[in-house]
Structure 1
């Protein structure tokens, strides 16, 4: 289940986990986008604790590339500050239009995976977030 700090137009949090990395047309049809706000965030609840090894983030292809820049990937079990105080796996730099970047998280344990842009007022846009890891039973996802 995914949630975000606010929603721009009809660009809800679930659009970042719908399996559609790229689609023709504008990002409103396939990306999650928060409102233009201070400290925007997006959170995935995995419902159980997992060891997270990799997170892949896909940027929009049509415009506004900076709306993914500077997003901190946070992984952990706390909902303090909406999960944005959990340990950091990485920080996105400018992701080229319509491309994906992956971050190695080394098996960080967590139920929550957050994307968080601190101390800046802007939209946070995520066209796809893919999380790879293993559960306590050894199952992979």
Structure 2
């Protein structure tokens, strides 16, 4: 005899959980190598972020940065970083979204409830990951960045 219906159900659930665990491990391994590179709208800077949104690369392009005010260059970099982080957040969410859905084979396995805002922070998600995510915040910061006229007196 192959066991009671409960034992069969438990075996199915265990097999599904093991399959999910293996799929999560594959997704984590793939994302560990992930990177997103974005150029700023004004094409003065290019940034690369890693899977946790960390800045891993920064390049200034076409010598434009040489003629830009410090605040303007900072705003350009922040804008590109915000966009890259949003794109990376979308990539992470897409990779893990299947694990948030209920199991089709074992309805008792309802999927993982993920608080994306807690993971990525509300500023990354406020405009929707990968869709100008955080750009409004970067623009606000850029508007507030000004050169301190006193800096030039203390140089």
Q: TM-score range by the shorter chain?
A: under 0.3
Larger radius of gyration: 2
The answer to which structure has the higher helix fraction is 2
The answer to which structure has the higher strand fraction is 1
TM (norm. structure 1) is 0.23
Greater relative contact order structure (CA < 8 Å, 6+ sep): 1
TM (norm. structure 2) is 0.22
